[in-house]
Structure 1
Amino acid sequence: MTGAQPRVAVVTGGSRGIGRAIVTRLAADGCAVVVGYAGHGDLADEAAAAVQAAGGQAVAVRADVTDERAVATLFDTARETFGGVDVVAHAAGQLRLSPVADLDLTALDELYRTNIRGTFAVAQQATRVLRPGGALITFSTSVVGLAFPHYGAYSATKGAVEALTMVLARELRGRDVTVNAVAPGPTATDMFLDGKDEQTIARLAAQPPLERLGTPADIAEVVAFLAGPHGRWVNGQVVRANGGII
């Protein structure tokens, strides 16, 4: 309708990679977007500026998801700037690779704080403020099912995210809010590519029947579906967006 207020999306990890692609995609659907970031403020500003240049509304807000006060401020800014929150896409996360036997437990603690505690902090705010018709999308990984070596700590944290997501979907009964997790397979982001040689990347790209790595845009399309009107009957699910890798 003419004059209708846009839906409002909060995207964590929105400065680059999958989060950046989600910002662009949800803005294309008409959402006003709050670009949450912990680092790379210049890239977050670029993401918001690109949305504005295309005629949309966006603002970049620094918020480390491990700090519940910063997360609360992120959501307060969304409501103060755009009037409410309709979509939360929690793309912020951290990856560490190591055999279980060799992992420094300090690294495990850091993964826990970002991937589990951070998801919990964002989910708390989301469940308190999401309006009817809203959607919360968390992020897992297809590695939870694939059980790749060296991904033990990362997979463990993302398995916890899946469990939390299923509980949230049931706790929000009667609110008309969907809660789902997206579990990407190998996706060509800086976080995924870092530290991998060309042979390893080629091997991973060959595993899906579609014989390529996913792209951030591929994952953003799944998020847009879950956040939009055509995804309203999908709730309490883990969507494994991985090109058919088994």
Structure 2
Amino acid sequence: MTAVHCSRFAGKVAVVTGGSRGIGAAVAKRLAAEGAAVVIGYRGNEQAAQGIVSMVSDNGGRAVALRADVADPDQIRALFRQAMDQFGRLDVLASCAGVEHFDALENITPADFDHVFAINTRGQLFAAQEAAAHMDVGGRIVLTSSVSASRAVFGHTLYAASKAATESMVLNLSAELGQRGITINAIAPGGTATDMAAANAPSYQHPQLRDKIGLEQWLTVHGALGRLAQPEEVAAGYAFLASDDAAYMTGRTLPVDGGFF
């Protein structure tokens, strides 16, 4: 687990969707390391999710893995109901479940649209809805956008649009939830060293550059830090927005992108 020497989330409960892999797994471990009891939502990889539960437990924390496909609103409701049954309260939602998509305009189908928006946009909306229903004053909701929401990339229209919609939801929900003392923000990660990034990294390059320069060389041109983020570095952003340190920050999307340009 991440070595963290504070307990900002002692006595609090967090739900992390997409918590079995990549950034979501790093977020779950980070929140647990800072004292939260963590519900790890996963869609299919039970072994990975249970591995994180064991890691948290071995370090003296509390965690449970619960299966839920965020594309299904009924499963989202069941996830939060089970979380309340397990821990009796909810303080933090870190919505990290997501799906990538690359394809040219002429190839996009209605099924593609429904699939991407069901997970990246609708899933986050209804996760926020369920979380807010169970939160008291001081609740923290952190959704996941992407640097792609504000950067043009060939063939990335559908994915980027789903993330731009997420940023708009965060902005508009802030006014509504602020009346209840709940904040809602988003993280916009840049390139991060996950299995999803490994599978899709070449697609972010201009078509004329693909297969001509390596990822590391490309990053030195397009990133101030010249490298991919580690999931733990992005997780620190979620932990900040979920903490009392960000009590006066809401409706905003925080880029954690290594100076991507």
Which TM-score applies when normalising by structure 2? 0.89
Please list, as runs of the form range in 1=range in 2, the aligned pairs for 1:59-208 lying within 5 A after superposition.
59-196=64-201, 199-206=213-220, 207-208=222-223
Report deviation, 1:237.
0.4
- Are 1:56 and 2:61 counterparts? yes
Report deviation, 1:195.
4.5
Moved more, 219-228 or 99-108: 99-108
Percent of paired sites with the same residue = 37
CA–CA separation in structure 1 for the residues paired with 2:143 and 2:200: 25
User: What RMSD in Å do the two structures reach over aligned CA positions?
Assistant: 1.6
CA–CA separation in structure 2 for the residues paired with 1:37 and 1:6: 23
The 3 A distance-change label for structure 1 pair 140 and 11 is: same
What whole-Å deviation, never above 9, does each CA across 1:178-218 have from its counterpart, x for those lacking one? 10010011111111211545845224432211111111111
Work out whether residues 149 and 164 of structure 2, in 8 Å CA contact, stay in contact via their aligned partners in 1. yes
Work out whether residues 64 and 70 of structure 1, in 8 Å CA contact, stay in contact via their aligned partners in 2. yes
Unaligned runs of 5+ in 1: none
What whole-Å deviation, never above 9, does each CA across 1:116-145 have from its counterpart, x for those lacking one? 111122011012112211100000000111
Unaligned runs of 5+ in 2: 1-8, 203-210
What whole-Å deviation, never above 9, does each CA across 1:69-126 have from its counterpart, x for those lacking one? 1111111111111111000000000101112233233222210111111112201101
The 3 A distance-change label for structure 1 pair 204 and 101 is: farther
Residue in 1 that maps onto 2:35: 30
CA–CA separation in structure 2 for the residues paired with 1:89 and 1:240: 15
Match of 1:216 among 222, 231, 243: 231
Work out whether residues 66 and 121 of structure 1, in 8 Å CA contact, stay in contact via their aligned partners in 2. no
CA–CA separation in structure 2 for the residues paired with 1:117 and 1:195: 23
CA–CA separation in structure 1 for the residues paired with 2:93 and 2:225: 29
Question: What SS is found at the alignment partner of 2:226?
Answer: coil
- Are 1:233 and 2:238 counterparts? no
